[in-house]
Structure 1
Amino acid sequence: MAEPSRLRPEDRADFEAVLHHAMNTTDLRGALGADAAGRVAAHLRAHALAQADDIATAADEPYRSYLAVRRAARREARSLRGPGRLLPALAVLTPLVSGTSAAALLLLGGLLHLAGALGPLPGSLVAAGWTLAPVAALSGLVTLAAVLHTAPRRRGAPPAADQVEHARLVWRQELLDRGMLPHLRRHLMPHPETAITPCSPPDTLTPCPARAREDRTPCSD
């Protein structure tokens, strides 16, 4: 069995956002409201942050999926900025450059012919223009075919950013439902019949013993 993934530093902010959301759910907010000083809430939050990796293991599978999608998106972004963009750029520029050059050579050669220029230059320019013309036409057809072939596939797949965001939201929801809320409820209310009282010291989440309340003595640390 694969070892659970440790929470990445860049995902700590998401973990804290899920923790904040969990502590504001109705049942936890009501239980924490019994402690007017807020010591129990502070302790519970600090404990959850310290146990972040253990809590996150409950949502390990969606977290692995999120990491995989995020890595793939980053690789794709790097490839778009890298040498892989050279060939598509050449495919677009080749018909433009060759077509423009062919037109310019044919126009210049024709003008020289009309001007009665002597020598082989006018004929050479016209011949070069007619040589470049089919190159421009052929490369244009190839580029058009490539665009028509790839366009349906690009429309069929959601953008990488949308995939990453969807995987992130799935992980956060699983972290909340399967990890954060059970952890907080378990440490806040170890027994269903007990309730947090304001005299609970900050280093414990258990209520004061009955004898301590009767004797009106402070809870021991």
Structure 2
Amino acid sequence: MHMNSAPHLLTEDRAEYERILDDALRNAHDRPDLAAVGQRLNTEQLRTMALNATALITTAAAAEYEHYTKIREEMRAPKAAASVRNSVLAPVTGEAAAESGAGFAAVIAVLAPVLAGTAALIFLLVGYILKALSPTASFAQTLVSAGWFFGALTAAAILVAAVALLLTALRNGATQVPAEEVTGELPDEVARAKDAWRHALLERGLLPFLRAALADPSADPKSSKPPRPVSRIPKVGYSGPDYSSPSEGSTAGQRPTFTSPDFTSPDFGGPEHQPE
């Protein structure tokens, strides 16, 4: 089901338009002027017609909608500006620098055990291989000792890394600013403007449209054209001249006959007017 986009209706408000329309159709039988719902047009057909005529219906409440969107944008602007300002100033604050340093230390604490463990593995492997090939070689014993040293260093680095990560997690948890709880409530001024738009859209847009659709016998639910407002613009009928065809008893092709006036010449008058 496609809904035409009105020139002034934003995408975020189309769901609200459908919600108002559904409420009007759901409560149609409570209104005497919409009592005819279901007789010729059902609610789904009326909904389709109203969605196809969104641009026309929302124009009836254009002033209230413009006021509502203007106030809503004004309320959003300070929050957006504060968010941008905080994101720009955060890197130059001392707290941000401290957090950056703590993050670098955490990276070093994680990499130290890996590097130390790799060195211990290499020294021990090479040392024991050389010691197996030449038991009397002093260099092999040196490599083995270095391997065990790096092994101990690996264990110590793991312990230090665990403590550092724990401290970092505790510090971040203590300094983290809790996010604002989203209550879904609008400021009073925005809420009043939204209620005014909803009321105007219902009373001046949707309800007159539905009444016109129910009163117009030629309304097509699949058509994108709005129904004729029969309650406002009465239909004026004109009848053409009454032309009747010839009667069946008349002869085909018969034409009307005309009798010319009977003019007589003076020379052919009566006996009393004979020429001498």
- Scaled by the length of structure 2, the TM-score of the pair is 0.41
Larger Rg: 1 or 2?
A: 2
* Greater relative contact order structure (CA < 8 Å, 6+ sep): 1
**Greater helix fraction, Structure 1 or Structure 2:** 1
If the length of structure 1 is used for normalisation, what is the TM-score?
Answer: 0.48
